[in-house]
Amino acid sequence: MRPYEVEVHGVKVKVSVVADNDRLINEKISEFKKLDKKNVVGVDVKTTYNASLLLFCVEGHCLILARIKDAHKFEVWKLLSDQNTCFVGSNFEHMKHCSYSGKEIFEKVGGIGVELDRLAAMILKKPSLKKKGVYELAGEIGLHVKPVTGTCPKWDAKVFSEEEIKYAIHDVYAFYLIGEKLLLGML
């Protein structure tokens, strides 16, 4: 595990990547839970054929969990069970296809998470926002976030470059920013 600090959407974000160590995964999730002061968490999954990353973001911090085999035995399950936290993201359906406990996580997040397009349509009272992409939604609420450019990394790496970390958290941090603005009435 190596800490990273990358700039994404004009914000310096501290990123922790954790894999293959049950104790460290649980420790980092416990630390992450303490950062969630606003009860809004961006959540996403990055997948390839034989690897998956589970990503969580709150203000200025992201946590990337790699190579988790049994999600229910980790603190991640407690995090996802927090009824006071709103998990925001896009296309939770794709979580079903993760190589680790994907179906379990999809059912957990899908049950308590909120798809950003539906949230924006409801809060802004604009049904036309349903099925809009994250960058269109950001523009609708006055956030200036742009799509990530570059080639998608292979998520099965043991060590990631800063550019790969930036690519990984780009969308999930946008989810957090949009969710925070929508849910906390900062429009």
Is the model's pTM score more than 0.85?
yes
Q: Give 71's DSSP letter.
A: G
User: What per-residue confidence (pLDDT) applies to 73?
Assistant: 60
Of residues 95 and 38, more confidence is placed in: 38
- Tell me whether residue 23 is exposed, middle or buried, using C-beta atoms within 10 angstroms of its C-beta: 0 to 12, 13 to 18, 19 or more: exposed
Q: Which residues contact 97 (CB under 8 A, 6 or more apart)?
A: 47
Give me the CATH number covering residue 89: 3.30.420.10
Instruction: Provide the domain count of the chain.
Output: 1
Residue 17 predicted with pLDDT over 60? yes
What would the mean pLDDT of 168-180 be, rounded to a whole number?
A: 94
Instruction: Note down the domain range covering 126.
Output: 3-183
* Contact in structure between 143 and 177 (CB atoms under 8 Å): yes
Residue 11 predicted with pLDDT over 70? yes
Residue 34 predicted with pLDDT over 70? yes
pLDDT in tens, 60-84: 999 988 766 655 566 676 777 777 8
DSSP letter for each residue of 127-187: GGGTT--HHHHHHHTT-------SPPPPTT-SS--HHHHHHHHHHHHHHHHHHHHHHTT--
Residue 147 predicted with pLDDT over 90? no
User: What is the distance between the alpha carbons of residues 172 and 176, in angstroms, rounded to a whole number?
Assistant: 6
